[in-house]
């Protein structure tokens, strides 16, 4: 099996599972506790049906939209995800270059294995930086200032990870960062020699954005869950968000909003966008799916702030449903991380092409020429 055999999310997942050592694959694939929310994130779309119109003159389809003040070629962008170096030896550079080729946004995590400056030099396309507030306030300020100097366009504060979720799969598989040899993981590394060779012979693993600020960035030899619990500030509040928004002075998204109450607070502190997200089902298990919350939040604040749907995206039709409810755009994480693992930059380009083709084809079948044609008359909830 190779990239040309991949036609959908499940195919990229299967190829990634074939190429990655078990602990790495399951870190991407897993969620928290019983993984109910992880699965519900995608299942929620099945409760909504598309209602097409015919004979609508759809000869020329325009998939473009504007989000964060930036025009992108189609309404899907790469969500911020950590440690791409674990999945492919070219790391975040591969993802960023693929996003640039397809005219969409690349999002970079604080927990990136490529630095802010490197990504700033690699691509001039729209870039979003995902900020975590650390206990060391100087680190938070430093990250914002470096993003401004490197030409990032959007700042995004993730607010649902003040403590790490209970990711039992990671404990069972022995996942650590960087990977550490145990009796169980050794077998998996040996049976994936290509990954092991590339990991050992390319750039050393490091948390590139914080390596100069904290010893944890250079000598971390434990679970990422332990890092989050030790370094992230659980006392973070709306005043901290407002401080970051004022310091950044540009498009600013708050990621992890799941309630109308918090959406209104995001608006009050000056955010220009919210990302409805439950961290891919990796934090609070048993929480609602983002798509389940979308309509209520859009109705409350959608005319005053940009609403992005993040979570559970597997198909182009999922994106059409979200846009019809009122989302400005969607982002996805697992989908492109599996593709990155399967084939590096070519893999991410492959999945973006598949998703773009699905959106285009289904827009035609829906009788919609532009993104603006998608509205609630085009959907029905079961």
Give catalytic residue positions: 279
Cis check for the bond before 178: say yes or no (omega within 30 of 0).
yes
Secondary structure element (H or E) that encloses residue 13, with its range: helix 9-19
| Distance between CA atoms of residues 137 and 337, nearest Å | 30
Best CA proximity match to 141, nearest among 213, 218, 247: 247
CA atoms within 13 A on the CB side of 85: 20
CB atoms within 10 A of CB 311: 30
> How far is Cα of residue 18 from the mean position of the Cα atoms in its chain?
22
Residue where the block lists tokens 């700033």: 120
CA atoms of 94 and 277, how far apart (whole Å): 25
The Cβ of residue 82 has, within 10 Å, a number of other Cβ atoms equal to: 21
Distances (CA, A) of 57 to 54, 151, 370, 372: 8, 41, 12, 15
Residues 257, 308, 154, CA angle at the centre, nearest 5°? 95
Q: Which residue has the tokens 């325009």?
A: 62
């Amino acid at each position: 099996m190779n990239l040309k055999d991949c036609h959908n999310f499940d195919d990229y997942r299967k190829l990634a599972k074939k190429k990655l050592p078990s602990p790495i694959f399951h870190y991407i694939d897993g969620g928290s506790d019983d993984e109910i929310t992880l699965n519900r994130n995608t299942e929620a779309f099945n409760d909504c049906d598309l209602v097409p119109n015919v004979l609508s003159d759809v000869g020329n389809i325009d998939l473009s939209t504007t989000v964060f003040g930036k025009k992108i070629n189609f309404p899907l962008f790469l969500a911020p995800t950590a440690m791409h170096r674990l999945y492919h030896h070219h790391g975040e550079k591969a993802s960023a270059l693929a996003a640039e080729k397809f005219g969409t946004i690349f999002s970079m995590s604080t927990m990136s294995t490529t630095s802010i400056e490197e990504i700033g030099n690699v691509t001039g396309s729209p870039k979003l930086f995902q900020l975590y507030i650390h206990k060391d306030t100087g680190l938070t300020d430093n990250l914002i200032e470096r993003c401004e100097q490197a030409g990032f366009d959007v700042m995004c504060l993730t607010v649902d990870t003040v403590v790490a979720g209970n990711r039992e799969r990671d404990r069972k598989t022995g996942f650590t960062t960087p990977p550490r040899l145990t009796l169980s993981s050794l077998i998996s590394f040996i049976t994936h020699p290509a990954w092991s060779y590339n990991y050992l012979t390319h750039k050393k693993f490091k948390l590139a954005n914080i390596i100069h600020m904290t010893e944890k960035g250079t000598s971390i030899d434990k679970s990422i869950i332990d890092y989050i619990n030790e370094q992230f500030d659980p006392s973070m509040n709306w005043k901290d968000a407002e401080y970051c928004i004022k310091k950044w002075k540009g498009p600013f998204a708050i990621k992890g909003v799941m309630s109308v109450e918090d959406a209104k607070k995001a608006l009050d502190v000056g955010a220009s966008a919210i990302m409805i997200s439950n961290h891919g089902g990796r934090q609070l298990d048993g929480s609602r799916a983002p798509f389940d919350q979308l309509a209520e939040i859009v109705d409350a604040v959608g005319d005053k702030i940009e609403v992005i749907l993040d979570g559970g995206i597997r198909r182009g039709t999922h994106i059409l449903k979200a846009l019809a409810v009122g989302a400005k755009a969607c982002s996805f994480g697992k989908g492109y991380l599996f593709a990155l693992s399967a084939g590096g930059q070519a893999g991410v380009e492959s999945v973006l092409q598949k998703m773009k083709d699905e959106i285009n084809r289904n827009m035609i079948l829906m009788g919609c020429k532009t993104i603006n044609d998608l509205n609630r008359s085009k959907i029905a909830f079961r």
